[in-house]
Chains A and B, each alone.
Chain A
Amino acid sequence: MPELRLDHLTIDYPARDRGPAYRAVGGVSLTVAPGEFVSVVGPSGCGKTSLLHAVAGLVPAAAGTVSFGGTPIRGPGPERAVVFQHASLLPWRTVLGNVAYGLELRRVPRREARARARAMVELVGLGDAASRYPHELSGGMQQRVNLARALAPEPAVLLMDEPFAALDAQTRDAMQAELLRIWAASRTSVLFVTHHIEEAVFLGDRVVVLSPGPGATVRECVPVPFDRPRDTALRRTPGFVALADHVWSTLAGARDRKAPHERANLETR
């Protein structure tokens, strides 16, 4: 399976009033190997969502490239699917209809689309709610639908934009475990953007730490050595806490724009 590669990806937003463009992301390079789960953390407003939208093909790159299996990406494509921060469900469609939506847009025959959507709805644990409308679902259930909809067309890469940010802490923990279970069943690659350090460490094979915007770059790439399957108890082990701490101080250093030697002092203290 091919890999997703970001090569010096730079994203600009045109300014109003003919001023200089706002540089949201300034040259980010990273790869996501087939089946790999990569978390991206960064201080809020550092361009995480812009980065993800560029990979999705929704925002053009000002410089640099995004490529998949060596082919440059110029727009949305069937090998990628986005799980948005807000569930963005079509309110006039049932759970099943929403999950089938991406398949319909890709012109999968109706009967087959329904069958595959049904299987996805079962996979995310919403079998009994398949005929409900979005307003009848809790936030956690809506995000399950969001996830099922993205997975239904069987993308090679799942792009997730802080999908659990709006959930309460308990639901969030449960959804993280659910995501790992579902990901293990589907074996897609995941690029998961979040500002939540513990979440990034718990989920990822690697954690990419971004520097603050404007012009965010990769500050550090932290490998996460814990075995899978992981369960919630992992969060309380000393190794996990130490690694989360390390990511936190990298991020804090990034936020304060400290010089490297100052940051070293901070960490040894």
Chain B
Amino acid sequence: MTAPPAVNGHTVHNGLKPGAIPGRARVSRRGGRIRRRGLWLGALGVAVTLAAWELCAAYGLVDQMLASRPSQILVAGRDYFTTGTGRRDLLVSGTEFLAGFGLALVVGLGFGLAVGWWRWLDQLTEPLVSFAYASPRIALVPLLVVWFGIGLGSKVAVVFISAVFPIVLSTRTGVRTADRALLTLARAFDANRRQIFRTVILPGAVPSIVTGVRLAIGVGLVGMVVGELIASSEGLGYTILYAGNTFQTPLMFVALFVVSGAGVLMTAAVRAAERRLDRWRPDGHA
């Protein structure tokens, strides 16, 4: 007997012994070990970078005024959230982002599923969507300010127009790339269109949709910051601009890092949700 072949890191048995799944536990344990090692290595990379930055600034290799240094940023961060405007900024920007992103999620999913499913609707809207997607939407911010005012409305709109497109496009792709063999199978069982949508199209589109949502988090945050840079008197983006203009480099980095940190956390949350949702997929796809 030769060893059973391995596919995707799984040991695969020939069909003679049904029920036996050798290597399953071992594989997932190995997957966990690799993931833990990834965390350690990632933390090491961050630590080395911060240490190098600190040392370069301490020994005068770079101008502290321009580049700041991690220890100063830490102090600025503490002040920002105790005596400064940190908590208020977080609330303002968070509200803008969550409102705009929530709207983009609802509209993007709904519209993406609709154009993926109904060919005529896609043909009707495709030129408009492509045109809008290709245009530099961020340049519309001044106009959005005129339309929705200088407050929450215009920022929600910026986040929305930034985040909605990745969700629409990836959802449409997810619906369109449904497995032909599974569609034929459903038809052979006399499934109606609703059943096909619910049992084949929707679950099959989930991985693609999740990818779009992850992209949308990034561009949505960029939209939020740009919106605040152009017209605002509070929020994380406004603080980045204000601190930069007044040479408070540490504070600028604090606000910047809060935005990046939020992006990383939200992306990680989506990934964790995806892992729960996608238990059926072979390991090691992420």
Chain A interfacial positions (CB closer than 8 Å to B): 56-58, 75-78, 81-82, 84, 86, 88, 90-93, 101-102, 104-106, 124-129, 132-136, 138-141, 143-144, 153, 167-168, 170-171, 174-175
Contacts and interface: CB of A to CB of B under 8 A. Distances in A.
A104 B198 CA distance: 12
Q: By CB atoms of chain B within 10 A, which of A86, A104, A138 has the most? A: A138
A141 B18 contact: yes
A99 B10 CA distance: 23
Contacts of A174: 15-16
Contact of A135 (B20, B185, B203, B281): B281
15 contacts: A56-B188, A58-B184, A76-B189, A101-B199, A105-B186, A126-B19, A134-B280, A135-B8, A139-B15, A140-B15, A167-B15, A168-B14, A170-B14, A170-B16, A171-B16
Interface residue SS majority, chain B: loop
Nearest 6 A/B pairs, CB to CB? A140-B15, A128-B19, A76-B190, A88-B181, A133-B280, A92-B280
B21 A129 contact: yes
Given A76-B188, A102-B189, A88 B15 contact: no
Contact of A140 (B14, B185, B280): B14
Contacts of B85: none
Contacts of B21: 129, 132, 136
Nearest to A80: B188
Contacts of B199: 90, 101, 104-105
A90 B19 contact: no
Contacts of A138: 12-15
A174 B191 CA distance: 32
Interface in B229-286: 278-282
Contact of A90 (B18, B203, B206): B203
B52 interface: no
B195 interface: yes
Contact of A82 (B14, B182, B188): B188
Interface string B157-172: 0000000000000000
A102 B190 CA distance: 9
Interface string B1-28: 0000000101011111011110010000
Contacts of A168: 14
Chain B contact patch, size range: 20 to 34
B33 interface: no
Contact of B16 (A76, A78, A105, A140): A140
Nearest to A87: B181
B92 interface: no
B15 A171 contact: yes
Nearest to A178: B15
Contacts of B279: 133
Contact of A105 (B8, B14, B190): B190
Given A90-B203, A92-B203, A136-B21, A175 B15 contact: yes
A75 B278 CA distance: 34
Nearest to A143: B15
Contacts of B12: 138
Contact of B189 (A106, A134, A136, A143): A106
B191 A88 contact: no
B78 interface: no
**Most chain A CB within a 10 A radius of its CB, from B16, B182, B204, B278:** B16
A58 B189 contact: no
Given A75-B190, A105-B195, A141-B18, 4 more contacts: A88-B181, A135-B280, A138-B14, A171-B14
B15 A90 contact: no
A130 to B, nearest CB: 9
